[in-house]
Structure 1
Amino acid sequence: MIPNLPAGSQAPLWLQKIQYTRDAIAYMEAAAQRCGEIFNAPVIGNHPVVLFVSNPQALQFIFSNDTKQFMTPPNQLLQPLTGDCSIFALEGSRHRRERRLLMPPFHGEQMRTSGELICELVDKAASSLSIDTQFSARQLAQEISLAVILKVVFGIYQEERFHRLKSLIIQFADSLQSPFIGGLLFFPSLQKDWGTQSPWGYFRHLQRQIKELIYAEISVKRSDAAGNRRSQHHMSSDILSLLMSARDETGQPMSDAELHDELFTLLLAGYETTASAIAWALYWIHRHPQVGEKLLVELNQQGLAPDPTTLVQLPYLTAVCNESLRLFPVATLTFPREVKEPVELMGYQLEPGTRVYGCIYLTHQRPDLYPNPKLFKPERFLERQFSPYEFLPFGGGARRCIGEALAQFEMKLVIATLVSHYRLALVDRSPEYPQRRGVTFTPGKGVQMVLKEKI
């Protein structure tokens, strides 16, 4: 008789949910120590069986059987944030269609034209720093990341529209950090709009204002495109314009509702996450000065005005960014999978309806893959290649992050520009620790730094 359920915490369910919401990493590490590389953690949604898996062979089996034994259900946790037409909320053929439409703008020529713009946006944001004045690296990275999204993704250059959308997005992202609002994502029954003075009401109010502005941007782009067609100009190369001109296999474009929800998803998935990843990398580089020195040598070999597409291929820069994403991945879990038909996984017989998550954080902490896993050591990524089931900061399979190429491209260029143009130092020598911010994890103290000199 095959056992059909891995062990999990013995604590009552309500207590587990609180522990997980308060300190997911401590919860996962304790469970892994007790139960190993697969355990039951019914802490997300209202599912009695939620398995966290950190075994690479099991992850490979799950991701390569997407659509066969496993389906990718919509993300109910994020649905209230992104809307019903978001790639996060779709499944089956609608999800595959949307993914095919979304992929091309994040690759190829589009990236090259964005490279110089990203480097300029870094210098613009960093120019506001004063020598010997403390600043938060996370806030600086958020400033850069948001500017990248508004210019590279939305193509907004008109200052007033840029600043209106920017200030609303900052308020929206900050609202998710409030335990009252971020915590409500895990308790759908408490999501009640009692007006703008109530936590969920305030959150919905911000969401409606952003929605209006995004629809206005789509409408501006549509009329620009019509004008451009009349005057035979090319459409602009921002991601929104490329998405508007994309067609599915039946020749259909994306509707305004689909465009809105995907843009909102890109905002949500690309702004805070990339900023946190950049802040972590700055933290590790400056916590280990020998890493910063080695990185600077590699960057200085590229001359005064290096080509962004050359920079992003540099081996040590890539290794530094990868090791940072390994140690504290911004998302600790992959998107969930649901068992479609009875299936055996790691010796357990799983029944239909069972939820399975790849545990990114615990996979990245495996000593058999990463000896001394708590140590920051970029050389790991120069010494060997890791498979997509051993190193998976962007998830895997059919739900792998769609903006992965842009995020890595941006992260590398921001780090390269800051390290080669500015001498920075950490203010606080005590360690940073990941803190929940909505559904992602970010440096709790914001990585407090000081600018020593501009080069």
Structure 2
Amino acid sequence: MKLPPKPRTPSWLLYLQFEANPFAYMDAIFKRYGDIVMITLGSTPIVYVSNPLGNKQIFTNTKEITASGKLNQDFALFTGNQGVLQLDGLIHKNRRKLLMQAFHGTRMQACGQSICELTEKIMNQQMVGKPFVAYPIIEEITLPIGIEVVLGLREGELYNKIKHLFVSMFKFEQSKLFQFISKLPLGNQDLGRWSPQGYMLDLREKIFELLYSEVKERRRVADSSRTDMLSDLIFAHDETGEPLSNEEVRDLLLSPIFAAQDASATAISWSLYWIHRLPAIHKRLLEEIDSLGENPDPMSIIALPYLSAVCNEALRIYPTQLFAFPRLVESPVEVMGYELHPGTVLISNIYSTHQREDLYPEPKEFKPERFLEKQFSPYEFLPFGGGSRVCIGGSFALFEMKLVLATIISRYQLELVSKRPERPKFGGLLCSPASGVKMILHGRRKHQEQSKLSVFSSV
């Protein structure tokens, strides 16, 4: 039995190549070494897989390959030490089940109209004829929705404080200053609030304090009629039958809010870019949405086949996360005919899987119809990862994505500011549009304006 192919290039140079252009780097690695490659980082062998069979082996073999929470400790800064990413085994399974209640079908339906109304409210604030960047505007929609689903808050002082802190933390983490300094040898040192790392930790502490205080207060005035994630966790019991501690509840709330804020905004922004870059796709999508009438039911919108195909293709060509969460080889195992030893880290390469020409002919082209012509397996199309670490909010993210897009496309006339292709930017985990997608609003669609006039004239 042999080991997977391994580049001769030093790992530090490979890292620099990845940092410079992760997409060209991964395309080149795939072209030269195929769909499994090993890279040694220090003394740890890391194996990247971009083959459906290999993905299936990684996600389904839970005996020799584990989804170890210790591999996700880097995310603890944002998720706390007891977040769902850091948990293992029965504890992880129990907490995932508890969190999934918030994404139950009936609850999703209940907030569908709110998503459409909030989208229209935010879009109506944009000035006609003035360019705007779509990404932060979409965040003004996705973050409040996330806070409502997770905490059950729509307005008020606490809502405003939490929203402000999450926005501040995300913007600073994505800033060029923080990105540059964090890569320096001492860039992650906490030198007080005025240092980049110190400022980030200060924001984190304030978020943790606010959420912890809210957990305590909600437990004190427990209301079993509420249907948000926080309420579910307050009344929940762990795998031994004991209530969750306030610290556990707080940590479990963090990942869903962050995911709602940036991952969803990234996917929607990419979709807006592709839809408005390709007129034929825009026309076909608009015709499908218009076929539902003036004020369609949200559940009718999410069932639209071409809208679903557009969303899937946006998640395929530039998935919001390029890699699935890592796995750890615990005992000798064979993957794709190669022998892997204990201590090896296994990572499913989502981006390269989605770029396979045998699965997706002309993979660099945006072609939604491929999702109408074929149903892909969860090992061929995996925008939210797979196995026990698959994103708990994946279904809700698609639900939200469709409603936001349908509302914007059907009600507003938008245009991309630049004809130049939008470049992808990789930052930590997410693959976002480099410019944020610059657009200009030309106004509401004519039939929307006419319907508004008829309403006013009848008052």
Same fold, judged at TM 0.5 (above): yes
1:328 aligns with one of 318, 343, 348: 318
Please tell me the residue identity of whatever aligns with 2:213. Answer: A
Q: Does structure 2 retain, via aligned residues, the 8 Å contact 1:177–1:438?
A: no
CA distance in 1, matches of 2:295, 2:185: 51
Q: Quick one: percent identity of the two aligned structures?
A: 43
Cα offset, 1:182, TM superposition: 4.5
Q: Does structure 2 retain, via aligned residues, the 8 Å contact 1:42–1:50?
A: yes
Asked if 1:116 is matched to 2:141, the reply is no
User: Relative to structure 1, is the Cα distance of residues 178 and 14 closer, same or farther in structure 2, using a 3 angstrom cutoff?
Assistant: farther
Cα offset, 1:344, TM superposition: 1.2
Asked if 1:342 is matched to 2:341, the reply is no
Q: Does structure 2 retain, via aligned residues, the 8 Å contact 1:176–1:438?
A: no
Cα offset, 1:249, TM superposition: 4.9
Match for residue 34 of structure 2?
A: 36
Please tell me the residue identity of whatever aligns with 1:240. Answer: L
Please tell me the residue identity of whatever aligns with 2:19. Answer: T
User: Relative to structure 1, is the Cα distance of residues 258 and 185 closer, same or farther in structure 2, using a 3 angstrom cutoff?
Assistant: farther
Q: Secondary structure at the match of 2:147?
A: helix
Please tell me the residue identity of whatever aligns with 2:32. Answer: R
Asked if 1:105 is matched to 2:102, the reply is yes
Match for residue 264 of structure 1?
A: 254
The worse-fitting range, judged by mean Cα deviation, of 371-380 and 160-169 is: 160-169
| RMSD (Å) for aligned C-alpha atoms | 1.9
Match for residue 350 of structure 2?
A: 360
Q: Does structure 2 retain, via aligned residues, the 8 Å contact 1:181–1:203?
A: no
Aligned 1:44-59 pairs, distance under 5 A = 46=42, 48-59=44-55
CA distance in 1, matches of 2:179, 2:319: 19
CA distance in 1, matches of 2:184, 2:4: 25
Q: Deviations over 1:76-115 (max 9, x none)?
A: 2212321110011111222112112212221221111111
Q: Secondary structure at the match of 1:78?
A: helix
Q: Secondary structure at the match of 1:450?
A: strand
Q: Secondary structure at the match of 2:368?
A: coil
TM-score (norm 2): 0.92
Cα offset, 1:179, TM superposition: 5.0
CA distance in 2, matches of 1:414, 1:237: 22
Q: Which runs of at least 4 in structure 1 moved beyond 6 Å after TM superposition? A: 183-189
Cα offset, 1:189, TM superposition: 7.6
Q: Does structure 1 retain, via aligned residues, the 8 Å contact 2:79–2:255?
A: yes
Q: Does structure 2 retain, via aligned residues, the 8 Å contact 1:182–1:439?
A: no
Q: Secondary structure at the match of 1:366?
A: coil
CA distance in 2, matches of 1:198, 1:238: 36
1:424 aligns with one of 414, 419, 439: 414
Please tell me the residue identity of whatever aligns with 1:203. Answer: M
Q: Does structure 1 retain, via aligned residues, the 8 Å contact 2:263–2:320?
A: yes
Please tell me the residue identity of whatever aligns with 1:445. Answer: S
Q: Does structure 1 retain, via aligned residues, the 8 Å contact 2:325–2:385?
A: yes
Q: Does structure 2 retain, via aligned residues, the 8 Å contact 1:107–1:405?
A: no
Aligned 1:173-252 pairs, distance under 5 A = 173-179=170-176, 181-182=178-179, 191-225=188-222, 228=223, 235-252=225-242
Match for residue 26 of structure 1?
A: 24
User: Relative to structure 1, is the Cα distance of residues 273 and 184 closer, same or farther in structure 2, using a 3 angstrom cutoff?
Assistant: farther
Please tell me the residue identity of whatever aligns with 1:72. Answer: A
Match for residue 73 of structure 1?
A: 68
2:428 aligns with one of 418, 438, 448: 438
CA distance in 2, matches of 1:415, 1:358: 29
Match for residue 276 of structure 1?
A: 266
Asked if 1:160 is matched to 2:165, the reply is no
2:389 aligns with one of 385, 390, 399: 399
The worse-fitting range, judged by mean Cα deviation, of 52-61 and 75-84 is: 75-84
CA distance in 2, matches of 1:7, 1:61: 20
Q: Secondary structure at the match of 1:76?
A: helix
The worse-fitting range, judged by mean Cα deviation, of 161-170 and 285-294 is: 161-170
Cα offset, 1:327, TM superposition: 0.3
Please tell me the residue identity of whatever aligns with 1:121. Answer: L
Please tell me the residue identity of whatever aligns with 2:63. Answer: K
CA distance in 1, matches of 2:159, 2:363: 42
Q: Does structure 1 retain, via aligned residues, the 8 Å contact 2:321–2:430?
A: yes
Cα offset, 1:160, TM superposition: 2.2
Q: Does structure 1 retain, via aligned residues, the 8 Å contact 2:4–2:36?
A: no
CA distance in 2, matches of 1:323, 1:126: 24
1:297 aligns with one of 262, 270, 287: 287
Q: Secondary structure at the match of 2:422?
A: coil
User: Relative to structure 1, is the Cα distance of residues 142 and 192 closer, same or farther in structure 2, using a 3 angstrom cutoff?
Assistant: same
Cα offset, 1:332, TM superposition: 0.3
The worse-fitting range, judged by mean Cα deviation, of 320-329 and 97-106 is: 97-106
The worse-fitting range, judged by mean Cα deviation, of 182-191 and 196-205 is: 182-191
Match for residue 15 of structure 1?
A: 13
Q: Secondary structure at the match of 2:233?
A: helix
Cα offset, 1:4, TM superposition: 2.0
Q: Does structure 2 retain, via aligned residues, the 8 Å contact 1:176–1:437?
A: no
Match for residue 3 of structure 1?
A: 2
Structure 1 runs not aligned, ≥5 long: 229-233
Match for residue 451 of structure 2?
A: none
Aligned 1:139-154 pairs, distance under 5 A = 139-154=136-151
CA distance in 1, matches of 2:352, 2:411: 35
Q: Secondary structure at the match of 1:41?
A: strand
TM-score (norm 1): 0.93
CA distance in 2, matches of 1:254, 1:112: 28
CA distance in 1, matches of 2:297, 2:236: 29
Q: Deviations over 1:250-307 (max 9, x none)?
A: 4333321122111111122221010000000000000011111111111111122211
Match for residue 277 of structure 2?
A: 287
Please tell me the residue identity of whatever aligns with 1:69. Answer: E
CA distance in 2, matches of 1:274, 1:196: 30
